[in-house]
Amino acid sequence: MNDITAISGRSAPRVDLDFPSLGLAAAAAAVREGHITSEAYTAALLLRARALAELNAFITIDEAGVLAAARAADKARATGSAAPLLGVPLGVKDSYLTKGLPTSLGLDGLAHFLPREDADAVRAIKGAGALVFGKNNLVEMSYGLTGHNARYGQVKNPHARDRVSGGSSSGSAASVAAGIVPASLGGDTVGSIRVPASFCGVVGFKPTTGRWPREGVAPISHTLDTTGVFARIVEDCILVDQVMTGEQAVASADAGNGLKGVRLAFAPRQFLDLVDSEIEGRFREVVRHLQDAGAEIVEVDLGDDFNALVQTATWGIFAHETMGAISEFLRRNDIPTTFEAIYEGLKPQLRQAWGHIVLPSGSGATSGESYQTALDVSRPEIQRRLDRAFVSHGALVVLQPTTPCTAPLIEEQATVHIAGQEVSYLALANHTVSASSVGLPGISLPVGLSRAGLPIGLELDAPFGSDRRLLNIARRIEGIVGDKSRAI
Could you list the active site residues?
A: 93, 168, 192
Q: Which residues contact 249 (CB under 8 A, 6 or more apart)?
A: 238, 239, 242, 468
- Of 365, 27, 75, give the one whose Cα is nearest residue 180: 27
Burial classification of residue 18, based on how many CB atoms lie within 10 Å of its CB (0-12 exposed, 13-18 middle, 19 or more buried): exposed
Q: What is the DSSP string of 149-160?
A: -TTT-PPEETTE
CA distances from residue 416 to 18, 305, 412, 421 in whole angstroms, order as listed: 37, 23, 6, 8
Burial classification of residue 266, based on how many CB atoms lie within 10 Å of its CB (0-12 exposed, 13-18 middle, 19 or more buried): buried
Phi-psi region of 368 (alpha: psi -120 to 50; beta: other; left: phi over 0): alpha
Residue 321 CA to residue 328 CA, distance in Å, equals 11
CA distances from residue 49 to 44, 71, 112, 130, 153 in whole angstroms, order as listed: 9, 19, 21, 18, 16
Residue 119 CA to residue 324 CA, distance in Å, equals 19
C-alpha atoms less than 13 angstroms from C-alpha of 108 in its C-beta half-sphere: 10
How many H helices and E strands in the chain? Answer: 17, 15
ω into 170 cis (within 30 of 0): no
C-alpha atoms less than 13 angstroms from C-alpha of 43 in its C-beta half-sphere: 19
